[in-house]
A and B are shown apart, each in its own frame.
Chain A
């Protein structure tokens, strides 16, 4: 990959991720490269947020993209957007990684709740509008909705664990996760 130092960052207009995945399904390695360039910051950033350790986040990113490469022919656009498909794969990989290794750690730090990181992403090249919309919209959630959604999505906790950490009944947490995401969805639709 001698040209990797020269890689172009898409400057305007996001690539059509659905079309790229359809090309990848046909074994198009060039489309896979473009897909990687388009989505690797999102995948890596998410992995980093969930697993924290940059080296492990890279492993998760690699696993996720290989799963995308391998499974592209099985992606069904009737079931959703390609970008969501990729991010869902990445999130599951990240959560699996953190649950595997942290089941041990959590026993050692019983009851200790990790600070939810507020790191700003370091990368300035990313479509900032969409991301600021997400942040704005997350602020419209109630505290309990926000904490439930965040702890689950960014820390990889199960709703059971979230309920324990927040000292709330399970049905409450289940409902807050759903209500929170619905509110986030509705707010984001307003920002389109």
Chain B
């Protein structure tokens, strides 16, 4: 089995496997560091075959791509994967992975959190919590939560971002903190905080939106299932 899989490295590097085979091979790669090294080298070679075909595209395409990128939000880094490596505990990794997926899905389609000019999620989504706190126009607040500890919040109007620093909260076992945008009585998930040492950065919500944090089962919920431990108005930070 593993010998058979190993010989697929060439076909994999050439993208010549079916989707199912590629998925199976990637599973194999997770447990085989020698295979990963080989795939990396073979992909380097394949990509040089690709680069040898270089032809300049039209200037019109350049404008199109740059404009399209300007209108596209970026994916958040997979901080939970790093966090899980740092704070690995019994049975955590798959749970964190699931939570990360939940967080990504939550971020993929939210309509409530918008920049003030109305364009959705315009700001790059890759800023760290610390960067927002360090922004030249950052406004910060330290807010006690009803259970235990406190959160620190920073908003930067310039970046259009709000950072929530959750170092001051207890790491939960089997549950997670979830962030909600609440507007006209309607709650929309804006993220699950799996690791209190990471916190989260979200776009500043439109005026009239409050931000609430609840404790939810790991991976988050589609709607709040508990009373918020804190509610804040980003406008007043």
Contacts and interface: CB of A to CB of B under 8 A. Distances in A.
Interface residues of A, number: 77
A9 to B, nearest CB: 8
Interface in B44-70: 44-59, 61-70
Contacts of B42: 178, 181-182, 185
B171 to A, nearest CB: 24
B43 interface: yes
Contacts of B41: 185
Contacts of B51: 42, 45-46, 83, 87, 130-131, 134
Given A123-B54, A179-B10, A27 B70 contact: no
B76 A149 contact: no
A185 B78 CA distance: 31
Q: Is the interface of A mostly helix, strand, loop or mixed?
A: helix
Contact of B47 (A83, A122, A173, A178): A83
A27 B123 contact: yes
B129 to A, nearest CB: 14
B73 interface: yes
Given A126-B54, A152-B16, A1 B45 contact: no
Contact of A69 (B54, B69, B77): B69
Interface in A38-76: 40-42, 44-46, 48-49, 57-58, 61-62, 65-66, 69-74
Contact of B56 (A41, A138, A157): A41
A25 B10 contact: no
A85 B69 CA distance: 18
Interface residues of B, number: 54
A80 B11 contact: no
A88 to B, nearest CB: 6
A97 B8 CA distance: 23
Contacts of B103: none
A81 B44 contact: yes
Given A27-B123, A65-B69, A84-B44, A44 B63 contact: no
B47 A88 contact: yes
A98 to B, nearest CB: 11
Nearest to A76: B78
A181 B10 contact: yes
Contacts of B228: none
Contacts of A175: 7, 10
B233 interface: no
17 contacts: A4-B59, A26-B124, A27-B126, A44-B61, A46-B50, A61-B57, A80-B44, A131-B54, A134-B48, A149-B10, A149-B49, A153-B14, A154-B49, A174-B11, A177-B16, A181-B42, A184-B45
A79 B93 CA distance: 20
